[in-house]
Structure 1
Amino acid sequence: MTKSKPLVRLTLALAGLAAAACLQPASPALAQSDEPGCRPDMAALRLPIQRANLAKDEVRLTFAGHATFLIETPGGVKVATDYNDYVRPQVTPDIATMNKAHSTHNSRNPDPAIKQVLPGWDPTGAGPAKHDVTMGDLRVRNVPTNIRSYSGSTDFDGNSIFVFEIGELCIAHLGHLHHPLEPGHLRALGRVDVVLFPVDGSYTLDQEGMLDVLKSLQARVMIPMHFFGGGTLNRFLARSQDLWPVERREQPVITVTKAGLPAKPTVIVLPGN
C-alpha cells in the first residue's frame, strides 16, 4: 500500500528527530569511551506509563532501558537512576541520580522540575560525592567507587552505588561499577534486598567479577541492566544458571515488597537493554 504524502512527511520528520538526538555530542568531561549511546532500540523503550496507587509496603520499579530505572514509593516519590539525555522515564522524577562514566549515565540538561539532582561524583574534584537525602518515605544515600579514566588510569570516586531505602526495603543500583567490592563497600551498603547491576562485562566489571559481587551482596532479587543485546545478557545468564534461578518477565515493570521477596536469591530479567 502506498503511503499518503502527509504520512510520509510525518515518518521522515520523526526519523530526523531521532537521528538528531543520537548525534548530540557527548560532553568531554563526562563521556569516557565509545560505549554505545543513543540507539533506536533504546529510544523505543520510552513507554507510556500508567500508574496505580501502591500499597504502603509496595515499591514499583520500571526498567526504562540501559541503566535507567524509575523507582516509585508508596508515598508517591519517584526516582530515576543514571538519569541522562537519551533514555528517560515518561514521568518527571522527584530525584535523579547520575554517574560520570559516559553520557548515557548523566544529563547535561536535566529537567528543571526535578527537585534533587544527585551526581555520583564530585564535579569540583574535591573528593567523593556525599549524598544522604530524605524525601517523603524515601532515603537516598551513596557509596563511592572508582572508574577507569580516558587513559586507563584510576579515576577515584568517579562512580556511586546509590542506595534507596523505602520502608523495610533496601535497593542498590550499582551504576557503572568497574571493580570488585571491598569489605568497606559492603559495610557501607549494609543489607541489600534488591540489586540492579550491569552485565555488559566490558565497559563495566567483567561478568565473572560481577558474579562475585552478587555472591557477596546476597540480595534476594537481582535485576540485570546495561547489556547491549540479548547475546551479552545470555552469556551472563549461562554463567549464573548454576547459582541462582532465573525468572523472565514480559513487562519492564515489577512491584516488590519485603514480605514478597523470593525465599532464595533470584535473577529477574526485565525486557530492555
Structure 2
Amino acid sequence: MIRLSAIAAVACSLSLAVLNTPKAQEKAQEKAQEKAQEQTQAEGCPRLISSTQPRVLPAAVSVDELALTFVGHATFLMETPAGLTVATDYNDYVKPSIVPNVVTMNRAHSTHYTNHPDAGIKHVLRGWDVGGGAAVHDVTISDMRIRNVVTNIRDWQGGTDYAGNSIFVFEASQLCIAHLGHLHHELTDEHLKQLGRIDVALVPVDGSYTLSTPQMFKVVQQISPQIVIPMHFFSQSTLRRFLDMAREQYPVEISQTPSVVLSRQMLPIRTKVLVLPGR
C-alpha cells in the first residue's frame, strides 16, 4: 500500500499546469509510487501492507494470518496464506512432519543445520557463508520475504567465529518474525537498525549455550517485540527458570498446542511471552 505522505510529497513538487492533462497526472502518480516504494524498502521490516493481488487461500490461514508451529529445539514451521512452508534451523534430528519449501540454518551445533537437506526442499538458506565472509540473504519467495542479520558465534576453541550465524527475519501477512538462532552476544545499534520493527521474536532461553538469562532478556528489551516465544530450552526446568524471570516484567501465556495463528490484530499492546509446547 502506498503511503499518502509519499504521494503528497511528490505531487506537491509538480506544477499545477502540468497536472491539468491526464497523461501528466498518470506520469506523476507513477513517480509517486516509485518514490514511496523506495522509501519503504529502505526501512527495516518493510511491506507492512501487502501490495499483491487477492489470491485463493488455503482454508487454514487467511490473507492476514501466518501459521506458526513449534516443532522442537530451535525448529519452527511457518505457513503463509499462499501455502509456502518454511522451517527454521533445519537439521537431521528435529524435523517437521512435511518437507518444507524453504529452510534456514545456523551452524553453531549439528542440531541447527544439516549437510544433507532433503532433495525436495527448493530453497536452502544458510546463516553462514560456506566460502567465507558473511552470508547475505534478502529474497522474496511466494508471499514471504526472508532476510538475515549476521551475528558472531563462539568457536570450539573459545575464540570468535565472525559472521558465523544469522538472525533470520521473515516478513509475511503484515508481520515481521525474527528467529534469533544460536545468538552468542548482545546486539549492537547496527544490528537493531538492520532488524527494524520485530513483532514476534523466537528466542533461545537455555541460559548458557547461547546467552545467560539476564543477557537474553536485555536482547529482548533491545528488540522490543510484541510476542516472545521461547525455544532452545532443553528441559522444563530450564524453561521454568526463564519464565520465572519473565513474569517479573511480562505477562506469560502457556499454550496447550504447539501451533498458533498469528496476525497483526492479535498482537498485544505490551510485550508478552507465549510458550508453545515442543520437544
TM-score (norm 1): 0.80
Please give the per-residue CA displacement for 1:177-205, whole angstroms capped at 9, x wherever unaligned. 00001100000000000000100011101
DSSP 3-state at the match of 1:259? helix
C-alpha distance in 2, partners of 1:226/1:189?
21
Partner of residue 104 from structure 2, selected from 97, 112, 123: 97
C-alpha distance in 2, partners of 1:167/1:64?
21
C-alpha distance in 1, partners of 2:272/2:106?
26
TM-superposed CA distance for 1:52, in Å, is 4.6
Task: Structure 2 unaligned segments of length 5 or more: list them.
Answer: 1-57
- The residue number in structure 2 matching 1:85 is 92
Partner of residue 173 from structure 2, selected from 152, 156, 167: 167
- The residue number in structure 1 matching 2:68 is 61
- The residue number in structure 2 matching 1:207 is 213
- The residue number in structure 2 matching 1:116 is 123
For 1:11-50, what aligned pairs fall within 5 Å after superposition?
none
Please give the per-residue CA displacement for 1:88-115, whole angstroms capped at 9, x wherever unaligned. 1011111100001000000121011111
- The residue number in structure 2 matching 1:138 is 144
C-alpha distance in 1, partners of 2:59/2:256?
19
TM-superposed CA distance for 1:175, in Å, is 0.3
- Does residue 1:75 correspond to 2:95, yes or no? no
2:227/2:272 contact within 8 Å kept: yes
Partner of residue 219 from structure 1, selected from 203, 225, 228: 225
- Does residue 1:235 correspond to 2:238, yes or no? no
C-alpha distance in 1, partners of 2:180/2:74?
9
DSSP 3-state at the match of 2:149? strand
Please give the per-residue CA displacement for 1:41-62, whole angstroms capped at 9, x wherever unaligned. xxxxxxxxxx853100010100
- The residue number in structure 2 matching 1:21 is none
- The residue number in structure 2 matching 1:264 is 270
- The residue number in structure 2 matching 1:24 is none
C-alpha distance in 1, partners of 2:72/2:246?
22
Q: Which one-letter code corresponds to 1:174 in the other structure?
A: L
Length, aligned pairs only: 222
C-alpha distance in 2, partners of 1:257/1:154?
38
Q: Structure 1 stretches (4+) deviating beyond 6 angstroms?
A: none
Q: Which one-letter code corresponds to 2:190 in the other structure?
A: G
C-alpha distance in 2, partners of 1:52/1:67?
27
* Higher helix residue share: 2
C-alpha distance in 1, partners of 2:234/2:120?
31
C-alpha distance in 1, partners of 2:269/2:245?
21
Q: Which one-letter code corresponds to 1:90 in the other structure?
A: S
DSSP 3-state at the match of 2:266? coil
> Which has the higher Rg, Structure 1 or Structure 2?
2
Query: What RMSD over aligned residues (CA atoms) do the two structures have, in Å?
Result: 1.0
- The residue number in structure 2 matching 1:107 is 114
Please give the per-residue CA displacement for 1:32-87, whole angstroms capped at 9, x wherever unaligned. xxxxxxxxxxxxxxxxxxx8531000101000000000011111111000000000
TM-superposed CA distance for 1:136, in Å, is 1.0
TM-superposed CA distance for 1:167, in Å, is 3.0
TM-score (norm 2): 0.78
| Gap change, CA 1:86 and 1:52, over 3 Å in 2 | farther
- Does residue 1:194 correspond to 2:200, yes or no? yes
2:173/2:263 contact within 8 Å kept: no
Percent identical: 55
Q: Which one-letter code corresponds to 1:99 in the other structure?
A: N
